[in-house]
Structure 1
């Protein structure tokens, strides 16, 4: 990222876009018994613990705002919204406020790939070199994060499955250290953005222009791990954007707009916030020494600029209502409002564990869990979180869709990614007790 050196106890570069702190808590929600869905639908407004959590964060001024969205099946969602678009502001946050969702972009990119796989334009285990020849003869670092010249040939080709599941051996400038991290920055392999402001410690490296250029330059970098050997958070979903372009014959952002956003009714999801919608955009805050400081003010946001290329791993801005539409489509196995956006087969496959048999998760953020098309899967649940505190999931086991929107970085500054699923579980338990 352009913030390579922004590495302090309260704002580590590793935390900025990974959005993965909620993983273990999400698994607990997935384990709720099937029978809970019926009584929860009858008491949809009785989310007292979720309401208390949202109220607490806003009242204590830890965040400017927070919006929780909860929906059952294909029913209208409940919105629990508190706060204003910016601290000290007057415009209240609501279902249509705009949030930087960062890594919650990844499941959307993943589902775009599943559409093409379902249509036979991509193969799940197809080597990407068949579409991007530059990836035909990849080299791999002998030592993880070590020398970028002491390398060996890749033992197997990079596949579509590996890009979707962070097992391709690709690096990430928010994860890697040493020479490979410096090389990524030098080559402009920076698939994300934070602010226009010259914040202390926030690197000002410039990303390459164009998804095609990004893919070509990335191919010249050594891999950090052998393809298919280990789960390692990466630029895989950003590179998937270029694969989607070649396979579909359409620009990546156009593919998302025409094949997912428009048919799903997502009217407020963009890589660039239109000037007409600035009044809905929230301010993003950096938590420094426990206090929120504006790092991307809404009216001077970097998300008002056209990005160097559409970041398939971390580039979208969306609203609570829009992201709920995406989740409702997934929970409906590809159908929303009677319209089919994706096939049932594509959704089921994309929300299942797609990890290669050769890949280990030991010692990683997802150890003991699975990973699908751009999101974690565990016991009937699929979803992911974002670097600015956002989190979303669908639970097929209970028929629930849920997302939480707020804006602060890094996501680990507060335990929101864990607290939200925990509050949902607590409310479900209360509802169950009321029906027993």
Structure 2
């Protein structure tokens, strides 16, 4: 069961899965000579602003816990963490605690797609209809979020590039309004899940079961924008899960497990949390009037159920250690601990700006920036954030990987998506005497 909102003032639709207004510290990092060497012997005292951020949120009772993982090159990460898995609990949060990473799933799906492009099983500018024929004759709303019957034909085919960069013209039930949103709900094209709890005022929207059915239903609905015309947050990374299945001949979750998670040593990343791992699952909180209230308790989490399908846009639960390994693999241009997971070319392309020249970003979350395979690209950085207070990125000039984890909704209740990269930037500048 997917859920919508307490009320629009407290838990907005777009907050459920959004990556947030994520900023990088790339400009400052890339300007620091020898920046990566400053991190070689990093310790918590070297990161006073990050430590202050973590301490502040936990000590003030805004969140149950917060954990930041910072590392450079191929070295082990430094953990700065405070708090317990649940408010009032006894188990401290740490590198192996499990967090709902929501839209931080998107870069994982993006890199899986890049692997298939690298293998020649997909093409970056290949029409989607060559893999999923149901998308061959798409229609587009004449007015954005307007009538679902007043339509015009798509001016160009949707491509794999469009799906990777949110420029396919697809909608999102957390973004759209009016009749088109109602259609997305009616057809079960509502990827993402929040809670089992019957919380008053929290709308319930059921996703159709099966990634193939999700794709087929999505193909029946009009696009909200012309393909390639504008960056617009969408279900495109969820749809790529189905593309990956068809191109690889494997189920999407199996492809991720065998081609990325196992080779990269990520043994704590799941679409469904096994019962044996519940003791390290965090509780997710809804922020109501400034107070965190249990939204998805660990012991009764919706992530203990089989999802309607593996949500490639927002479905993963992972640990700071595991996601740091994903970042470490990206920073190593596809190699981690001497083992190659992806080709260097695939990583370099996937972390570069893939936005089509025709796409406008003005007025969007990525205005003035680039977008790669499921993540923001700016100043040598690549990454994205999650709806429940997580952020992760790599910065190539500084050879840095950085991520932070906590659990609360809506993401805009606290400025962590901006605050964490800014704290990283400030600490790096101080290290270099800037």
| Contact 1:43/1:431 (8 A) holds in 2 | no
Alignment of 1:257-336 (within 5 A): 257-336=257-336
Measured in 2, the distance between the counterparts of 1:330 and 1:356 equals: 23
Alignment of 1:77-92 (within 5 A): 77-92=77-92
Alignment of 1:357-436 (within 5 A): 357-433=357-433
- Match in the other structure for 2:70: 70
Measured in 1, the distance between the counterparts of 2:130 and 2:241 equals: 15
Determine whether 1:162 maps to 2:157. no
- Match in the other structure for 1:240: 240
Counterpart of 2:212 in 1: which secondary structure? Answer: helix
| Contact 1:333/1:342 (8 A) holds in 2 | yes
Deviant stretches of 4+, over 6 Å: none
Measured in 2, the distance between the counterparts of 1:422 and 1:358 equals: 31
State the superposition RMSD in angstroms.
1.2
- Match in the other structure for 2:205: 205
What TM-score, normalized by structure 1, do the two folds share? 0.97
What TM-score, normalized by structure 2, do the two folds share? 0.98
Query: CA offsets, 1:387-429, max 9 Å, x none?
Result: 0000000000100000000000011100111111111111112
- Match in the other structure for 1:215: 215
Measured in 2, the distance between the counterparts of 1:148 and 1:137 equals: 16
| Contact 1:172/1:235 (8 A) holds in 2 | yes
Measured in 2, the distance between the counterparts of 1:26 and 1:157 equals: 36
Shift of 1:432: 1.1
- Match in the other structure for 1:101: 101
| Contact 1:3/1:201 (8 A) holds in 2 | no
After superposing the two structures, state which structure 1 stretch, 396-405 or 193-202, moved more: 193-202
Measured in 1, the distance between the counterparts of 2:88 and 2:143 equals: 50
| Contact 1:6/1:13 (8 A) holds in 2 | no
Query: CA offsets, 1:197-239, max 9 Å, x none?
Result: 1122222221101000000000000000000000000000000
Counterpart of 1:293 in 2: which secondary structure? Answer: strand
After superposing the two structures, state which structure 1 stretch, 211-220 or 409-418, moved more: 409-418
- Match in the other structure for 1:38: 37
Query: CA offsets, 1:236-283, max 9 Å, x none?
Result: 000000000000000000000000000000000000000000000000
Structure 2 CA distance for partners of 1:362 and 1:316, relative to 1, 3 Å: same
Measured in 2, the distance between the counterparts of 1:357 and 1:207 equals: 34
Counterpart of 1:182 in 2: which secondary structure? Answer: helix
Shift of 1:43: 3.6
Measured in 2, the distance between the counterparts of 1:7 and 1:30 equals: 40
Count of matched residue pairs: 433
After superposing the two structures, state which structure 1 stretch, 25-34 or 354-363, moved more: 25-34
Measured in 2, the distance between the counterparts of 1:34 and 1:238 equals: 40
Shift of 1:44: 3.9
Counterpart of 2:39 in 1: which secondary structure? Answer: helix
Query: CA offsets, 1:1-22, max 9 Å, x none?
Result: 9334544222111122112222
